[in-house]
Chain A
Amino acid sequence: MQPAGYNLYPVSTGEEALQRFKLARPELILLDLFLPDMDGKEVLRRLRAWTSTPIVVMSVRDQESEKIACLDAGADDYLTKPFTMGELLARLRAVLRRAFGAAQSEMFIAGDLRVDFNRREVFVEQQQVKLSATEYDLLKVLIHHAGLVRTHHQLIHELWGGTHYHDAVHLLRVTISNLRRKLACDPRNLRRIVTEPGVGYRLRTDADWAQVRENL
């Protein structure tokens, strides 16, 4: 990671992480949930008690409930092992941009998607796309957290406030599905909004986009 421009302060236990954090004051914490001395979620909780420094957790497959618990406890995002260096760097960029980024820009561009917030206009491949009010709001929330996962709960809260979860989660799925269709133009672009099974959704940034294209 050093070639990518990051200074690292590696630690190997939860206790050490909590100690080291106070001295080193990093701008971002990458936290493995599986630690030799304590549960990673405990470290997360104790850090979150007094700092808002971005935290990205790393976990293994099949742990949706763990992931949601971490996001609810204040993690900014998670990575599922194994991941590539490209995925890691993209995630870190997204978290940092969200935490320290400049004021909200007037325009969002990712691949062939362009959103003009002032005029509330959305374009795919230069063609304007008509979105319903809810679809637009959803897209805006996803763009606001571009590259980061938003849980079902978070999205429902942001879109509809205190609506009952079970009714709203279905509405959310349908809205996501409609939004996807309106934003898609060829079958391989279907995954502009990525499903994180059992957790939520993530909008791909321009950088993610470039990487997917490279892989395809």
Chain B
Amino acid sequence: MRPSTKNSTSASKKELERSLTSLLRLSDRLNSVFDLDKLLDALVEQALDLTNAQSGCAGLRTARGMSCNHFLQGSDVVPFLYDCGLGTGWAGWVLTNKTTYFTTDALNDTVIVPEIRERFGVASGMCIPIIDNEKEVIGFFEIYNRQSSKDFTQQDLKNCVAAAQIAALAIQNVLTNAKLVALAAFSRSLTLAGDLEQIVEVAGNHLEAHFHCGFVLLLPADQGLVTRFRTPEFLWTDKELDAATWCWQHGREAGAQTATLPDSLARYLPLMVREQTIGVLGLESRPDGWLSASQSELLAGFVGQSALAIERSLLEQKMRQLRTLDESERLQSAILTSVSHEVRAPIAAITAAVSALLSPGLSLDRPRERQMLRTAEYEIKRLHRLMNNLLSVTRIQAGVSRLKLEPSDLSDVVGAALEELGTSTQKRLITVQIPSDLPLVPMDFDLITQVLVNLFSNAIKFSPSDQPIDVRGQIVDGKLEVSVVDRGRGIPNEDLERVFQRFHRLESISSVGGLGLGLFICKEFVEAHRGQIRLEINPDGGTIARIVLPCQTLPAV
């Protein structure tokens, strides 16, 4: 197994010169190739040139061992799948021993894969491991001589080892580049992911593409870790949960290929943000699984970025909850303090009417009796409407009830609102202008009816009874626009926005009853539909209340 030595100094000098030129050329070539397959081909070509060998191949380390799918013979490419596990074939041997394999008697060699010996007529040859900075074998290359050709020299071996070192640097460069590109892509996708589901999806896609393995994501809940995502093939057992839980509690890796609970199927990595474990990522691992240094770094990068993204989304979720809670609490207390005031008026009217009817000393004629009863009925309806408004707005705000979107006919909604107002629309001229081909638009029928009731009731309250009120509906820029137009005295410019605030009432109209909740409720309901509402000054005098609702079906709110 010792290469033959040649003693001619001039020949060896020439030889040395030739090898140096060839190695320089290799270095130049490899540094300008960014595709791993092309890089390996260039390595083999140059090695064949350097040693005058006839055929050879190069491959990279995989999870299963070493792999390569074609050979070079002279200038021909020969497809041939060459997969070696640890200790099998020359490539497997160098992976185990981390050193060069060399033979001048391939015919009696027991390590060589026999099919290769026959296919390429191997008489002598060598297999050189490509070793990275971490002293890990990341690939190999092999070259063969046929029976009739010359033997490899000591110089050939030295040259090939040098070529392997040059290749190792080039391969690591390419991998580092690929890693940076992958990390950048991952980071960009994460930035675009809005919620936890999307983050998990992005992470899943990238893990799948780069590591070809199933994974599981666990986040803490009230009682221990809860699986938030798991690829379908991933076999989930109590043993896995134990390893994941240990990892979460200790903030250190656990499971397969670690010191803790190594008989788990997956390796569990803590998702750390500022030294806090916010979750656990489990990567399915095969017994022969192997990650190169650059893959390990890529994985660490993925894990770190995922942790940050997940933390961000959890924080946002918490903020949203807090905000809703805060809003609904403020609303509740505001309602409590203000409602009593507003409820008192109708109750006083009802009490007066009913006690008059029941009073034994008071004799009322039939028409007067009817009038009292009508007053009571009107006030009860007003109370009922008020309660409906308050209930709906609290529910929508507290997130208790969702919108019940149904494709609805605007004419129908307008009709329902006018009916609900009943007697108060009496003696008012209300014109409805809705084109007959207006499409059905998704909306919560009850809520938009309440919005229109509030807008109509404002229009009625704040405009003289001899002035008309118009309702118009039309599609503008693909959205439904509904306007309620009155010819009252209008709202001062500076108040157009403020009137939508809760319990805001204009100083100038404080003589007219009302809770100041009407427009606030309209705004809440319309915005729950992802629509807009605004008040405008009617050029003909008065106010235009305009609602814009999207026409397409909305995502659930």
A44 → chain B, closest Cβ, in Å?
A: 23
Cβ of A62 under 8 Å from chain B: yes
Please state if A191 and B416 are interface contacts (CB–CB under 8 Å): yes
Cβ of A143 under 8 Å from chain B: no
Bound together, the chains give a CA A181 to CA B415 distance in angstroms of 12
Q: Chain B residues near A197 (CB, 8 Å)?
A: 404, 406, 444-446
- Per-residue CB contact flags for chain A residues 161-193 toward chain B (1 = under 8 Å, else 0) read 000000000100110110011001001101100
Q: Chain A residues near B430 (CB, 8 Å)?
A: 187
Q: Chain B residues near A170 (CB, 8 Å)?
A: 407
Cβ of B409 under 8 Å from chain A: yes
Q: Which residue of A lies closest to B423 (CB)?
A: A215
- Per-residue CB contact flags for chain B residues 401-434 toward chain A (1 = under 8 Å, else 0) read 1001011110110111011001101100011100
Please state if B419 and A212 are interface contacts (CB–CB under 8 Å): yes
Please state if B412 and A195 are interface contacts (CB–CB under 8 Å): yes
Bound together, the chains give a CA A62 to CA B391 distance in angstroms of 10
Among A176, A177, A216, which residue has its beta carbon within 8 angstroms of that of B422?
Answer: A216
Please state if B411 and A180 are interface contacts (CB–CB under 8 Å): yes
Please state if B419 and A177 are interface contacts (CB–CB under 8 Å): no
Q: Chain A residues near B416 (CB, 8 Å)?
A: 191, 194-195
Most buried by A among B406, B408, B444: B406
Question: How many residue pairs between the two chains, A and B, have CB atoms under 8 Å in the bound complex?
Answer: 64
Q: Chain B residues near A180 (CB, 8 Å)?
A: 409, 411-412
B473 → chain A, closest Cβ, in Å?
A: 11
Give B41-56 interface residues, CB cut-off 8 Å to A.
Answer: none
Cβ of B158 under 8 Å from chain A: no
Cβ of B436 under 8 Å from chain A: yes
Cβ of A26 under 8 Å from chain B: no
A3 → chain B, closest Cβ, in Å?
A: 15
B475 → chain A, closest Cβ, in Å?
A: 15
Bound together, the chains give a CA A82 to CA B384 distance in angstroms of 8
Q: Which residue of B lies closest to A188 (CB)?
A: B418
Among A62, A84, A177, A216, which residue has its beta carbon within 8 angstroms of that of B401?
Answer: A62
B341 → chain A, closest Cβ, in Å?
A: 23
Q: Chain A residues near B388 (CB, 8 Å)?
A: 61
Tell me the count of chain A residues lying within 8 A, CB to CB, of chain B. Answer: 24
B257 → chain A, closest Cβ, in Å?
A: 50
Please state if B422 and A190 are interface contacts (CB–CB under 8 Å): no
Please state if B426 and A216 are interface contacts (CB–CB under 8 Å): yes
Q: Which residue of A lies closest to B434 (CB)?
A: A187
Please state if A215 and B422 are interface contacts (CB–CB under 8 Å): yes
Most buried by B among A84, A177, A194, A197: A197
Q: Chain B residues near A216 (CB, 8 Å)?
A: 418-419, 422-423, 425-426
Known: A61-B388, A64-B404, A198-B406. A188 touches B440 (CB 8 A): no
Bound together, the chains give a CA A185 to CA B4 distance in angstroms of 111
Q: Chain A residues near B440 (CB, 8 Å)?
A: 173-174, 177
Q: Which residue of B lies closest to A189 (CB)?
A: B415
B409 → chain A, closest Cβ, in Å?
A: 5
A140 → chain B, closest Cβ, in Å?
A: 21
A216 → chain B, closest Cβ, in Å?
A: 7
Known: A62-B401, A180-B412, A187-B414. A173 touches B445 (CB 8 A): no
Among A61, A82, A190, A198, which residue has its beta carbon within 8 angstroms of that of B415?
Answer: A190
Bound together, the chains give a CA A197 to CA B447 distance in angstroms of 10
Please state if A198 and B419 are interface contacts (CB–CB under 8 Å): no
B215 → chain A, closest Cβ, in Å?
A: 36
A198 → chain B, closest Cβ, in Å?
A: 5
Bound together, the chains give a CA A187 to CA B470 distance in angstroms of 11
Q: Chain A residues near B436 (CB, 8 Å)?
A: 181
A164 → chain B, closest Cβ, in Å?
A: 17
Bound together, the chains give a CA A64 to CA B415 distance in angstroms of 21
A208 → chain B, closest Cβ, in Å?
A: 11
Bound together, the chains give a CA A64 to CA B401 distance in angstroms of 13
Bound together, the chains give a CA A170 to CA B445 distance in angstroms of 16
Q: Which residue of A lies closest to B409 (CB)?
A: A177
Bound together, the chains give a CA A64 to CA B444 distance in angstroms of 12
Q: Which residue of A lies closest to B444 (CB)?
A: A197
Q: Which residue of B lies closest to A174 (CB)?
A: B440
Q: Chain A residues near B384 (CB, 8 Å)?
A: 82
Please state if B422 and A195 are interface contacts (CB–CB under 8 Å): no
Among B377, B404, B445, which residue has its beta carbon within 8 angstroms of that of A195?
Answer: B445
Bound together, the chains give a CA A165 to CA B209 distance in angstroms of 41
Most buried by B among A170, A173, A174, A195: A195
Q: Which residue of A lies closest to B395 (CB)?
A: A62
- Per-residue CB contact flags for chain A residues 53-71 toward chain B (1 = under 8 Å, else 0) read 0000000011010000000
Q: Chain B residues near A181 (CB, 8 Å)?
A: 411, 436
Bound together, the chains give a CA A181 to CA B414 distance in angstroms of 14
Please state if B411 and A190 are interface contacts (CB–CB under 8 Å): yes
Most buried by A among B391, B409, B446: B409
Please state if B419 and A215 are interface contacts (CB–CB under 8 Å): yes
B457 → chain A, closest Cβ, in Å?
A: 15
Q: Chain A residues near B446 (CB, 8 Å)?
A: 197
Bound together, the chains give a CA A61 to CA B422 distance in angstroms of 19
B420 → chain A, closest Cβ, in Å?
A: 10
Q: Chain A residues near B419 (CB, 8 Å)?
A: 191, 212, 215-216
Bound together, the chains give a CA A197 to CA B450 distance in angstroms of 13
Q: Chain B residues near A194 (CB, 8 Å)?
A: 416
A170 → chain B, closest Cβ, in Å?
A: 7
Among B391, B408, B422, B432, which residue has its beta carbon within 8 angstroms of that of A187?
Answer: B432
Q: List 10 A-B pairs, minimum CB-CB distance, nearest first.
A: A187-B432, A197-B445, A190-B415, A191-B415, A215-B422, A177-B409, A190-B411, A195-B412, A181-B436, A173-B407
A-B contact pairs, 23 of them (CB 8 A): A62-B401, A170-B407, A173-B409, A173-B440, A177-B440, A181-B411, A187-B414, A187-B431, A188-B415, A188-B418, A190-B411, A190-B412, A190-B415, A190-B432, A191-B416, A194-B416, A195-B408, A195-B409, A197-B404, A198-B445, A215-B422, A215-B423, A216-B426
User: With contacts A61-B391, A176-B409, A197-B406 known, what are 13 further pairs, Cβ within 8 A?
Assistant: A61-B388, A82-B384, A84-B377, A184-B411, A187-B431, A188-B418, A190-B411, A190-B412, A195-B416, A197-B446, A215-B422, A216-B418, A216-B422
**Chain A interface (Cβ < 8 Å from any Cβ of B):** 61-62, 64, 82, 84, 170, 173-174, 176-177, 180-181, 184, 187-188, 190-191, 194-195, 197-198, 212, 215-216
**Chain B interface (Cβ < 8 Å from any Cβ of A):** 377, 384, 388, 391, 401, 404, 406-409, 411-412, 414-416, 418-419, 422-423, 425-426, 430-432, 436, 440, 444-446
